[in-house]
Amino acid sequence: MGDAQVASVVGAESRKPFLFLGLLFFCLAAILYLFWGSFKELELIWERQEEYSHGYMIPLVALFLFWQKLPSILAIQWTPSRLAPLIFMLAMFGWALGEITAYRQIVAYSFIASLIAVALAVYGWKGFRLSWGAFAYLIFMIPLPLFLYQRLSSALQLISTQIGVAVVELFDISVYVSGNIIDLGGYQLQVVEACSGLRYLFPLMSFGFLISYLYSGPNWHKWLIFLSTIPITILMNSFRIGVIGVTVEYWGIEAAEGFLHDFEGWFVFMACLGVLAIEIWILNAFRKDRKAILDLVDLSYPTWSEINSHGRLESARVAPLIILSVILLVALPVSAMISDREELVPQRDSFAVFPLLRGNWIGREGSLDNDTLGILKLTDYISADFRQGSNGLPVNFYIAYYQSQRRGSSIHSPRSCIPGGGWLISDLQQVSLDDTPGLSGLRVNRMVITRDMHRQLVYYWFAQRGRVLTSEYVAKWYLFEDALTMKRSDGALVRLVTSVPPDTDIAEADARLREFLTEFYPILPDFLPGEQIELVQPADEIGQAEL
C-alpha cells in the first residue's frame, strides 16, 4: 500500500467518529422534533394532574441511569442488531398512527421504542441488557389510557373505602358504607376519584422501580420491593380515609376539611416511602451478607474521564445509523402532512331542545353538579325523569355526548360507575329489542342492580358514529378505527333506569323501558350524529390538550 493510500485510510478512520456522532445527533434531534408536540401535551398532564406530577423527574432520572451504565457499555464490543431498523420502522408507524388518531399514549410509547431502536443500532443487545432500566423507567412518565384509568380508579375507590371504614370501626364509631360513600350519621363522606390513591400509587411505583433497579440483592428482593408499592399505597390511602372519618366524628366536617388538607399529599407519600424503607431494612436484616442500608442502593456515577477512556467511537459502525437516518428523512415530510389533518365535528341538535313532552310521556329535566361535570368532561348531556301520568313510575333518561374523545374526554361506562354508588350488579346481559316495534336493530346492555331492599333495571348502550354497541372494548376499537378512517371520535352513552318495586315482576320494568324507547328512540339521530354528517368545525379548535 502506497503512502497516499495509507494517508487516505488514516484520514477516513479519523473522520469516522465525527460521521458517527453526526448521524447519532441527527437521529436524536429528528426524533425529538417528531415527538415534540406530544411532549408538550405530556407536560400539561404533569402540570394539571397530581397523579402524574412526578413525570417531570422521570426523563432526568432515566438519563442518570443511562449515564451510570455508560462506562460498562463503552467497555464491551458493540454489535449493532439487525432488528434495529425494523423496530425503528414500527416505532415510526406507531408515531404516525398515534398522531393521526390523536392517541397520545401510542405516540409516547413509540418514542421509547424509537430510542431503543437507536440504542440497538449503536451497540446492540449486549449493551441494551446493561442499559434497559433507563428505557423502562421512561414508561412511568406516560399516563394510563383514560378508560384503564377510570376502571383502576373505581376499583381503588371501593377498596380504600372498605379498609377506611374498618379503621373508623376500630374507634367504636358506628358507620354505614354504601359503595364509596361512608355514612357517619350526621355526615357523609364520599371517596371520590381524587381519593382513590392513584396520586400516591403512580409516583410510589416509579420510585419502587428505581430502588429495585439500583438495589444490590437477590432478584426476588427486587420484585418484592417493586410490587409491594401497590399494597403499601392502598393501605396508607385507606388509613388516611379512616382518620378523616374519625376526625369528622369527633370534631366535625370543618376540622376534617382542614385536616384533610394537611394530612394528604406529601405527608402520605413520605409515609409510604418510610414503610418502603422499613421493608428494605427487614430484607437486609435476614441476609447473610448484611450491608449498611446506604450500600444497598447503588447511587454511584462515573466521572467524565471514565466515560472518555475507552475510545469506542473509532470502531463504531455507521451503517445502521444511516438506515435510521433515511427512515427519518421520509418521516419528517410526513409529519407536515399529518399536522394538517383535522378532526371532523358533526352538526347536531343540542339537548337544550330535547322534547320533554312526547306522546303520553312528560319529563322533568335535572342537572349534574360541577364536580361531576369536571370528571365526565362531556360536551352536552340530558338527564331527565319521564313519567306516564302523575302516578307512573319514572324512567330516568340520561345521555352523555362527547364531541371528541381524543384528548382527555372519554365515555364512563355504567359498569364501572354504578358500583361506586353502592349498587351491586346482580345480572348483566346483552338483549336485542328487535321484537319491539320501532326498535329494530337496537341491542342493549340489560342490567339489574340492587342496594339493600331497592332494585332497579338499567338499559344502556354506546352510540358511536352510527353504530349501536354494547361492549365498551369494542367501542374503543371502533373509536380508534373511525379516528383513522373517518377523522371522527364523537360518541355518546345512552342510559335508562327505572325502579322495580318489591313484589313486582321485573317484566313490568322491561315493558316500561321498551315503551319509552318506542316513543323517543326515533328522534335520537337528531342529537346523536350517525355515519353521514354535516360538518360544524374542526374539533382541534375546541379540543383539550390532554391525553
Helix (H, G, I), strand (E, B) or coil at 533: coil
Domain boundaries, the chain: 3-143+319-339, 147-295, 351-541
- The predicted pLDDT at position 15 comes to 54
3-state class of 208 per DSSP? helix
pLDDT (0 to 100) of residue 8:
42
List pLDDT tens digits, range 351-380.
Answer: 999 999 999 999 999 999 888 888 788 999
pLDDT of 465 reads 92
* Cβ partners under 8 Å of residue 322, min gap 6: 23
Closest among 190, 171, 188 to 180, alpha carbons compared: 190
Which pLDDT value is given to residue 105?
86
Name the residue type at position 44: L
What pLDDT, on the 0 to 100 scale, is given for residue 399?
Answer: 97
Burial bucket for residue 25 (CB in 10 Å: 0-12, 13-18, 19+): exposed
String of DSSP letters for 428-453? EEEEE-TTSTT-TT-EEEEEEEEETT
| Residue 257 confidence (pLDDT) | 64
pLDDT (0 to 100) of residue 444: 96
DSSP strands (E only) in 63-117: none
Please, are residues 383 and 365 in contact by the beta-carbon 8 Å criterion? yes
What is the rounded (10 degree) CA torsion for 277, 283, 284, 286? 150
Query: How far apart are the two ends of the chain, measured CA to CA in Å?
Result: 62
Q: Return averaged pLDDT per consecutive 10 residues of the chain, 547 residues in all.
A: 44 65 95 90 85 93 96 91 96 88 84 97 95 97 83 83 86 78 72 71 94 93 96 90 80 65 70 92 87 84 75 82 96 81 86 94 93 86 92 93 79 79 84 91 93 89 94 86 86 96 91 96 94 59 38
User: Can you give the pLDDT at residue 542?
Assistant: 41
Residues forming a β-bridge with 362: 357, 387
Cβ contact 42:108 at 8 Å: yes
On the CB side of 28, how many CA atoms lie within 13 Å of its CA? 10
Quick one: residue 23, left, alpha or beta (phi over 0 = left, psi -120 to 50 = alpha)?
alpha
Q: Report the number of secondary-structure helices (H) and strands (E) in the chain.
A: 15, 12
Q: Return the beta strands (E) in 84-204 as ranges.
A: 176-178, 181-183, 188-190
Cβ-contact 365, 348 below 8 angstroms: no
Q: What is the DSSP string of 187-198?
A: -EEE--GGGSSH
CB 204 within 8 A of CB 269: yes
Specify the pLDDT at position 3.
Answer: 47
The span from the CA of 143 to the CA of 510, in Å, is 40
pLDDT score of 547: 36
With contact defined as beta carbons under 8 Å apart, do 320 and 125 qualify? no
Q: What is the pLDDT of residue 545?
A: 34
